[in-house]
Structure 1
Amino acid sequence: MSRPELPGWRWGPFTFRLPFYHTRLYWPELLQGIFIAAATGLSLIPLMTMFFGLTFEEAVAASMIHSILLSTALIIFGEPYAPGWLTPALPLVLAFAIGAGDDPTLRLQAMAALSLDFALLLFVLGVTGLGRKFIVWLPETLKAGIILGAALAALKRVFIDDAERFLLQQPIATGLACAVCLIFAFSLPMQRWREKYRWVALIAALGLLPGFLVAAIVGPMVGEVSYDIQWGILVPPVADMWAKMSPFAIGFPSIGMMVEAMPLALITYIILFGDLVTGNEMILDGQKSRPDDHIEINPTRSHVSLAIRNGLMGLIAPFFPTQGAMWTGVHVIIVQRWKQGREAMDSLHSGLISYYGMGIPVLFFILPLLTGLQPLLGIALSLTLVLTGFACAYIAMAIPTSNASRGAVLMIGAGLAFFEPWVGLVFGVVTTLLLVGWDTAPRPASDEAKVIEPVAGGLQGER
């Protein structure tokens, strides 16, 4: 029997759901979220300390701000997706920001420019409904080239640009971590094992955590990891972080930098739209098993909430693209348990909010956990980028349907990975026109037909 969506306090298109009052606590999701979020959410700290002039403690404070903003997607805005980074864009973003100059201030201003550009773009495309039309209008070859560009940029970052800082310092631990995660996530033989053995499926469901555990155990044995665990409570120095990161303290990006960042914001929007389509499809599929828990899909709400989150991040602690719509692996895990019925999970919103620590970023205050993970953060970053590169590559190469298109996709991907965003995007458009033509799909793909059609109603205010 169908019921209305889980109630909360409505404000505009959003719904505020207070933890423990509107939503229930589910311990399995809470415990998974604490440990997996700790393993992945802190993996940007090596980048913040090496390239952006932050201390470890200041980077922890920035990560805490990013985590709080992610939690607002569920608690304050009422989104039905497990929020996460726009990981495929990360290597392109790093190349852009690090290329802004040797001064960490310039690099952080580049991050602010990307965040503010992205926020403005999301707001305009969301409230006008132009976002859906823009994505459908883009050629399939150009879309695939953009995704492959993210894959090449990710692998280039690990194996060439930052190899001496990360990979070559911990080669065995990093290699084993990557191998374990790639096998459990993508191996075809392992998929058969997952269907046959429940314990294999449980390990695979933990995402990046098995790889981290292997690195944590093997690393000390081979002399690549040395722990210096400290006890106590860490109070993240938010004021010091603000003084080094916020545009209000270091100055706002110039108009020229904002213009330079816009092509990368457009590229990131294409990736974001794919996440929204995927998340909506998962929810619509889950509704077949859970008609009793209605979930509202509203793209206006999603676009505007993402715009607000990215705008706030750009003003407080800019580090693009940590404010995306969905963490696919986590969303799949929670939706799968939600589909099992009310006995397993009364409401999807309760499960999502439980996974994200009920909005309380406790892990950032636990010094033993932070210092225990510190020597593994370089491995975490390399692992994140390798998995991103692999996943983006197989998605991109599945899109083209002709040899000319496949060759064009490779050229576009290389252009985006090795050139400036404006140059790469122009190169991609010209390559598409000359080698393939403007090959837009004549009609929305099957997933868009099922998801975007009802979504369009939300853009027009029908929901």
Structure 2
Amino acid sequence: MSRPELPGWRWGPFTFRLPFYHTRLYWPELFQGLFIAAATGLSLVPLMIMFFGLTFEEAVAASMIHSILISTALIVFGEPYAPGWLTPALPLALAFAIGAGGDPVLRLQAMMALSLDFALLLLLLGITGLGKKFVIWLPDTLKAGIILGAALAALKRVFIDDAERFLLQQPIATTLACAVCLIFAFSLPMQRLKEKYRWVARIAALGLLPGFLIAAIVGPMVGEVSYDIQWGFMVPPVADMWAKMSPFAIGFPSLNLMIQALPLAIITYVILFGDLVTGNEVIREGLKERNDEHIDINPTRSHFALAIRNALMGISAPFFPTQGPMWTGVHVIIIQRWKQGKQTMDSLHSGLISYYGMGIPILFFTLPLVTGLQPLLGIALSLTLVLTGFACAYIAMAIPKSNASRGAVLMIGAGLAFFEPWVGLLFGVLTTLLLVGWDRSAEPILEEHDDRVPEPASTPVVAKLEAES
């Protein structure tokens, strides 16, 4: 039986959904987007100031452009994922850009080269259909290993690689924020409390916001956060930012730099590939509860949308890799609310657009919010990485069906997290073939424009994000 998809204005393979007209407003997602998503986006501001020669105001303007482009994934292109950065590729991109030379112009041109190479690669894979085939034909063990690798890489970034810069500078506030969010999102005892007490369920519905607010309150008490809030409105200096960042102002990268950036663009696609796999699996699991709504999973459309977003970012405010397909932690949080039924969230698209399209743009013009969030940027980044790591691990560990597959998944995840991406991927393929075989499911993701509801017996149970719900 055909299920309805939330209507919108179709253009080519995409669907434009206008906020308030096609989608409903959900306040929990709005408040989360206003604070959490914007604070995470602003966490790149110190890097843009330190390494790329921007002022604070110009860096905020660049972050605004990044956030608007991220929101287009939902509003303009009709994607069913909560979009975000390709976070594991960020340290690689920074190292590449900084290594291009001490001149901020050269570093920005390196970011342009990465962005434009990545856009061309995505366009090629979308046109040929190879990207769709990669996603569909991935064996389950390798799929789970990629997801677990993302989990280990995210946790490694918080607790090892950047621990001195983030976690160790604000240990109490960061720990509280992560603990509260994990408990409200995933704890089985908390799930029983949510079913028993309505006020607990209302707090839990706010997702990441309670943990972030606790960190904002406790941080000053323990001397880890100091606010310097300024009042008024700020118009982000987009023209000044453009003059310092756009290739139309500072010049396009050389052909040699474009060639140098290509291997890293290919490596980043491996990371993107894992995000698409994770996003599809989370949606499939949600569809078992929400058989009243059709969600169009379309890998080819995703490749085109990502190509356009990265190309626009590369010619306006290049900072690779801010235009990825999915923010896992937010994706899981919104899917969990959507799974509770139509009375909680009428459509997944409404929840997603409430979080991004209605929340993020407001912040960048409000000086008290921008300056108030400034000392919390490290906490926001650590929070999203920890939640991403937990969610990816939760999903990956539910996929394998045999002991050999479970052991292989752990080995693949460790290889992808600790080795060079190409070495880790090759290791993962060989481990899968030698220990498990090509254990592809009969129907690993929904086909494009397929109205069927996936039957539980036809695919592996990917995750029980709320086992007691």
Contact 2:38-2:360 at 8 Å conserved across structures: no
CA deviation profile, 1:126-155 (whole Å, cap 9, x unmatched): 344433322232233322222222222222
- In structure 2, the partner of 1:222 is 222
Residue-pair matches, total:
442
CA deviation profile, 1:428-457 (whole Å, cap 9, x unmatched): 333334x41542325124xx3xx2264499
Contact 2:132-2:299 at 8 Å conserved across structures: no
Task: Provide the secondary structure at the position in 2 that maps to 1:361.
Answer: helix
How far is 1:74 from its partner? 3.5
- In structure 1, the partner of 2:356 is 356
Flag the 1:94–1:80 CA change in 2: closer, same or farther, 3 A.
Answer: same
What are the within-5 Å matches in structure 2 for residues 8-157 of structure 1? 9-19=9-19, 30-50=30-50, 53-77=53-77, 79=78, 81=80, 83-86=82-85, 89-98=86-95, 101-102=98-99, 103=102, 108=108, 111-157=111-157
- In structure 2, the partner of 1:163 is 163
CA deviation profile, 1:168-209 (whole Å, cap 9, x unmatched): 111111111111112112222222222222222222222221
1:259 paired to 2:254: no
CA deviation profile, 1:25-76 (whole Å, cap 9, x unmatched): 6666545543443344334434444555544323321221122112323333
Contact 1:334-1:352 at 8 Å conserved across structures: no
Q: TM-score, normalised by structure 2?
A: 0.80
Read off the aligned partner of 1:452 and give its amino acid letter: E
- In structure 2, the partner of 1:414 is 414
Mapped partners of 2:19, 2:203: distance in 1: 29
What are the within-5 Å matches in structure 2 for residues 428-447 of structure 1? 428-433=428-433, 435-445=434-444
Flag the 1:29–1:378 CA change in 2: closer, same or farther, 3 A.
Answer: closer
RMSD of aligned alpha carbons? 3.5
How far is 1:369 from its partner? 0.4
What are the within-5 Å matches in structure 2 for residues 230-379 of structure 1? 230-248=230-248, 249=250, 251-252=252-253, 253-279=257-283, 282=286, 286=290, 288=292, 299-317=299-317, 318-324=319-325, 327-329=330-332, 331-332=334-335, 335=338, 339-340=342-343, 352-358=352-358, 361-379=361-379
Mapped partners of 1:437, 1:23: distance in 2: 44
- In structure 1, the partner of 2:464 is none
Structure 1 spans left out of the alignment, 5+ residues: 458-463
Mapped partners of 1:28, 1:406: distance in 2: 37
More off after superposition, 278-287 vs 35-44: 278-287
Mapped partners of 2:16, 2:419: distance in 1: 43
- In structure 1, the partner of 2:427 is 427
Mapped partners of 2:183, 2:19: distance in 1: 37
Contact 1:30-1:354 at 8 Å conserved across structures: yes
Mapped partners of 1:137, 1:82: distance in 2: 20
Contact 1:233-1:367 at 8 Å conserved across structures: yes
Flag the 1:220–1:383 CA change in 2: closer, same or farther, 3 A.
Answer: same
Contact 1:298-1:455 at 8 Å conserved across structures: no
Flag the 1:192–1:338 CA change in 2: closer, same or farther, 3 A.
Answer: closer
Identity, % of aligned positions:
70
Contact 1:122-1:303 at 8 Å conserved across structures: yes
- In structure 1, the partner of 2:394 is 394
Q: TM-score, normalised by structure 1?
A: 0.81
Task: Provide the secondary structure at the position in 1 that maps to 2:399.
Answer: coil
Contact 1:115-1:321 at 8 Å conserved across structures: no
CA deviation profile, 1:252-309 (whole Å, cap 9, x unmatched): 3421221232022133123224314534664685452x6xxx7766554443223211
Read off the aligned partner of 1:138 and give its amino acid letter: L
How far is 1:376 from its partner? 0.6
Contact 1:44-1:381 at 8 Å conserved across structures: no
Mapped partners of 2:425, 2:161: distance in 1: 22
More off after superposition, 405-414 vs 266-275: 405-414
Mapped partners of 1:158, 1:50: distance in 2: 20
Flag the 1:360–1:141 CA change in 2: closer, same or farther, 3 A.
Answer: closer
Structure 2 spans left out of the alignment, 5+ residues: 453-469
Flag the 1:83–1:154 CA change in 2: closer, same or farther, 3 A.
Answer: closer
Read off the aligned partner of 1:227 and give its amino acid letter: Y
More off after superposition, 195-204 vs 34-43: 34-43
How far is 1:15 from its partner? 3.9
